[in-house]
Chain A
Amino acid sequence: MAHSVLNRLDARSKILLTVLGAIATIAFSTLGAQLVLFGVSFVMVLLINRPMLVFVLYLLMGAMMLLASACTWVMASFIPSLGEITFGSLVIPFLRGLTMMNCVMGMALTTKIEGIMSALTQLRLPFMLTLPATVMIRFISTFTNDVAQVWETLKIRGWEMGFVFFLRHPYLSTRLLFTPLLFRALKSSEALGVAAELKGLDRGLQQKGAMNFQGQSNFSKADAWLFLGASFTVVMATYIELHWIEWGLNVTRLGVM
């Protein structure tokens, strides 16, 4: 994980920021407000200090947007009642997607797994969510290794899995991938479930167990600045939403009437 200013923030702050970002992007519907949200979230994503990764993500998002625009243009050509496509109407949904991507990337790429565990416990989530979440986070890496092993086994046995193989043998490829994963999941759940029961986890994590996840993380000055910045952004976006309603809209009509 590259060193970034965002590493100093509490995981809970980043979770709350992402939720706020999701609510704000859906609530605002003017181009100006969406540009403000996107601009601020883009600055945040640049602070991750991984320019190459951000570039690749934006490239992929750009390809998806081009594909979506082409589909939209075709649909609007065949069904005129769907309305005309303007610059604003096409750009606003994309800005929403980009803002969400920036927020989630800022959170996911700068938070360590133990930080997430700690945040989940400190958010006082019930035990019925904390335990499966812990197990899921722990087992994603284990299953990744299992998947790599399954992949290697298939290669050794002469199955060249890929796009063409999937198209030619969808049923066989599903069987080849599904069966080992299912048995691995069943075996792991059996063994780990018994271990959890023997450890007495039926009575919850209890104070001592919860302490292991909590660590020493507390809100710092950086978190206060983050909340201040987020509040200022939302206020600015609200002002623009209320006073600059038509700004940037209907600038360019994109041909479909």
Chain B
Amino acid sequence: MMTNKLVKTAYWKSQELVTIGIFAAAIKLSSLLIALAGGGMNPVSLMLKNLVFSALLIVLLARVRKSGVLVVFTLVSTIVSALLLGSSITLLPAAIVGALCAEVGILMVGGAKKAWSPFVGVALYDLASKVFSLGVSYLMMRETPAMLVSVIPIIAIGYIGSLMGLYAGYRSLRELRHAGIVRS
């Protein structure tokens, strides 16, 4: 007698998880590299840092077309950055809420398989995580609201860089598709 056994497959393939890990490392290091090469905190290096971040994230989302990539990426990147590089763990909740907002946005445009979903996801992720980071910053600086106001232009400059990164990501994806490295 033949029995049809349904084999339950895992949602995440190891290849996809490896890709997320490698891109998380590349994004973290490229941000550090640009900050060091640009001579610390200045508007140009801030914009370039965000540009490269968004462009690499778009390539990652185009490579791994599944819901939840941004959440996994955020969790892994923030936890490892805090443990290894000493970045603040207080930004984790803001980044996760930002990632969840972006995932909802991706679902609303038709899911991760759609051609525009990486761009919508990254644009929303950057915006939402920056807005929620401002919320966390407010909690940290609630005694001095003027300090928070002086942070807003810096975040705005960063977001301009992210928007430029959307175009850079679009151009990169086009080239990678031509080369057959990323499939549509």
Contact = CB atoms under 8 A, between A and B. Distances in A.
A32 interface: no
A15 B83 contact: yes
Interface residues of B, number: 68
Contacts of B20: 132
Contacts of B73: 132
A51 to B, nearest CB: 17
Nearest to B85: A108
A132 B51 contact: no
B124 interface: no
Contacts of A173: 37, 48
A136 B28 CA distance: 9
A234 B15 CA distance: 44
Interface in B32-82: 33-34, 37-39, 42, 44-45, 47-48, 51-52, 55-56, 59, 63, 72-73, 75-77, 79-80, 82
Interface string B133-174: 000000111111111011000000000000000001000100
B42 to A, nearest CB: 7
Closest 3 CB pairs of A and B: A135-B21, A193-B15, A132-B21
Interface of A: 15, 18-19, 22, 25-26, 29, 68, 71-76, 79, 82-83, 85, 88-90, 92-93, 96-97, 100-101, 104-105, 107-109, 111, 113, 116, 120, 127-129, 131-137, 139-140, 143-144, 147, 161-163, 166-167, 170, 173-174, 177-178, 181-182, 184-186, 188-189, 192-194, 196-197, 199, 201-204
Interface of B: 9-26, 28-30, 33-34, 37-39, 42, 44-45, 47-48, 51-52, 55-56, 59, 63, 72-73, 75-77, 79-80, 82-90, 139-147, 149-150, 168, 172, 176, 181
